Structure 1
Amino acid sequence: MTESQLVFRRARLADLPAIVAMLADDALGAAREDASVPLNPSYTAAFGAIQQDPNQFLAVVEQDAQVVGCLQLSFIPGLSRLGLWRGQIESVRIASSYRGAGLGRAMFEWAIEQCRAQGCGLVQLTTDRARPDARRFYESLGFTASHDGMKLNL
């Protein structure tokens, strides 16, 4: 897949149904997302909050004018490491019919460059232990499992 075929851009409200459908299109997402139409209003509210936060970038990837991937970038200021900014990559999804064609690698290269452009000195992500293929993919991009992540559902 060549990047010239791809268009990376900030998500628009009209993209939200496609984004939610991608989030729900795997075993883990199917259990925690609601891809019914009309969309659950919580997605629209979250989209509005993301759009208003200058440290958030919800991106979509288009090929042939069709949304085929998405991810969220968070730019996080911090005091540790001499005030280092971090780029957090989350909610990476690729439409099922486009998987395995190099789109994920192109999306990460683009996202990492966005983090550099924002002055981040580190890029981080979390991945579910139930996704060993995703972990291998991230390692192939140079990510290392240097920390253990923990979550608390509220």
Structure 2
Amino acid sequence: MIRWREAKREDVPAIVALLTEDSLGAARESEDMPAYLAAFDAMSYEYGNSLIVGDADGRVVATYQLTFITGLSLRATRRAQIESVRVSAKLRSEGVGEAMMRDAEMRALHEGCTLLQLTADNSREDAHRFYERAGFTPSHIGFKRKLNP
């Protein structure tokens, strides 16, 4: 049984391990734990920015970030943005992703959101199929631009 809860600082190493478990994450994450801990600390002070973990008997086996966004478009729709979705490779195809999306939806509804949105890397075809089965529609094209401070 997986229990969904807010992440704690001591969960950060396990979360980073999940982020690096696939080829994309392995190429873009690092072993700089102080940077991840500082980011977690900053997130904990931001209203509407939550890091959620799936806890199975005291082990972090899944994670996602949920951010609430209030805006004017779509008749002032409040939306929830899901990011950094990861499920332990050992538990994929076991219903963990579906449970995660239900948890995210429940949290979004509790915050008054009427839209749940996410992005997925173009190369993650299995993830695309999963999100469509979960009721998401591939309605937009996303763009990103790295900034050099």
| Residues in 2 aligned to 1:115 and 1:57: alpha-carbon distance in whole angstroms | 11
RMSD over aligned CA atoms reads: 0.9
Instruction: String of CA shifts for 1:109-139, please: whole Å, max 9, x gaps.
Output: 1111110110001000000011001000000
Structure 2 counterpart of 1:50, which letter?
A: M
1:23 is matched with which residue?
A: 19
Alignment of 1:92-103 (within 5 A): 92-103=85-96
| Residues in 1 aligned to 2:3 and 2:33: alpha-carbon distance in whole angstroms | 27
Alignment of 1:43-82 (within 5 A): 43-82=36-75
Shift of the alpha carbon at 1:145? 0.8
TM-score normalized by structure 1?
A: 0.92
TM-score normalized by structure 2?
A: 0.95
Pick one of 9, 14, 24 that aligns with 1:13. Answer: 9
Match status 1:85 vs 2:78: yes
| Residues in 2 aligned to 1:10 and 1:32: alpha-carbon distance in whole angstroms | 24
| Residues in 1 aligned to 2:14 and 2:58: alpha-carbon distance in whole angstroms | 13
| Residues in 2 aligned to 1:94 and 1:24: alpha-carbon distance in whole angstroms | 11
Q: Secondary structure at the match of 2:61?
A: strand
| Residues in 2 aligned to 1:9 and 1:18: alpha-carbon distance in whole angstroms | 14
Shift of the alpha carbon at 1:46? 0.8
Pick one of 113, 128, 140 that aligns with 1:147. Answer: 140
Structure 2 counterpart of 1:152, which letter?
A: R
Shift of the alpha carbon at 1:31? 0.3
Moved over 2 A (4+): none
Shift of the alpha carbon at 1:40? 2.8
Q: Secondary structure at the match of 2:83?
A: strand
Instruction: String of CA shifts for 1:45-96, please: whole Å, max 9, x gaps.
Output: 1101111111111000111221110000000010112211110000011112
Structure 2 counterpart of 1:31, which letter?
A: A
Alignment length, in residue pairs? Answer: 147
Consecutive unaligned residues of structure 1, counting only runs of 5 or more, are: none
> Conserved in 1, the CA contact under 8 Å of 2:13 and 2:33?
no
Consecutive unaligned residues of structure 2, counting only runs of 5 or more, are: none
